[in-house]
Amino acid sequence: MLDLLSFDRDQRDGAARSAEPVWRLIADTVMGGRSSGELTVEDFDDRRCLRLHGHVSLENNGGFLQAAADLAGSKAFDASSFQGVLMEVAGNDEDYNVHLRTDAMRLPWQSYRARFHARPGWHSVRLPFASFRPYRFDAELGLGGLRRIGVVAIGREFTAELRLARVAFY
């Protein structure tokens, strides 16, 4: 098991960070969309967590909010010894995605995607790598060259409210 989410005790202004990798918010505003949100670290039901909160808007060809982390800096990460992605989540009874990007991808909208449902209260979600499907890319998932993981509120107008206490490769 490899944990991808740990919390830096020296955070300023509630900014979301981890020791390695660093998680950051990416919204559709990078392409002219109108979604808005925030990524913070907080305590929820006695657990320290990363909180993705905001409004996903389809206005102006938008439609996503993403908590993303580059896995190995400027290098690719070899995940071939793992089976999938494990998360401890609490949500608002909505569907979310996990997106993986590899070193073979060149365009920002390309990814491998798997969907999950985040019900209220803490629970585990396991997404085997075999459940990830290519999006706007024609190749099988190459686990030897992972670059980024993203947890994404996407595709429809809704309020995102997702808490992550753990993100790991299992």
The torsion of the CA quartet 156, 39, 21, 121, rounded to 10 degrees, works out to -70
Per residue in 158-167, pLDDT (tens digit) is 999 999 999 9
Instruction: Note the residue count of the chain.
Output: 170
Query: In this predicted structure, what is the pLDDT of residue 19?
Result: 42
State the Cα–Cα distance between residues 46 and 9, nearest whole angstrom: 16
Q: Which residues of the chain have pLDDT under 50?
A: 9-19
Q: Which domain holds residue 41?
A: 2-169
Please say whether the beta carbons of 96 and 118 come within 8 A.
Answer: yes
Amino acid, res. 169: F
Query: In this predicted structure, what is the pLDDT of residue 16?
Result: 40
Q: How many CB atoms lie within 10 A of CB 122?
A: 17
The number of folded domains in the chain is: 1
Q: Say whether pTM exceeds 0.75.
A: yes
**DSSP secondary structure letter of residue 80:** T
Query: In this predicted structure, what is the pLDDT of residue 31?
Result: 84
Query: In this predicted structure, what is the pLDDT of residue 20?
Result: 61
H or E element in which residue 24 lies: strand 23-27
| CATH number of the domain enclosing 13 | 2.60.120.430
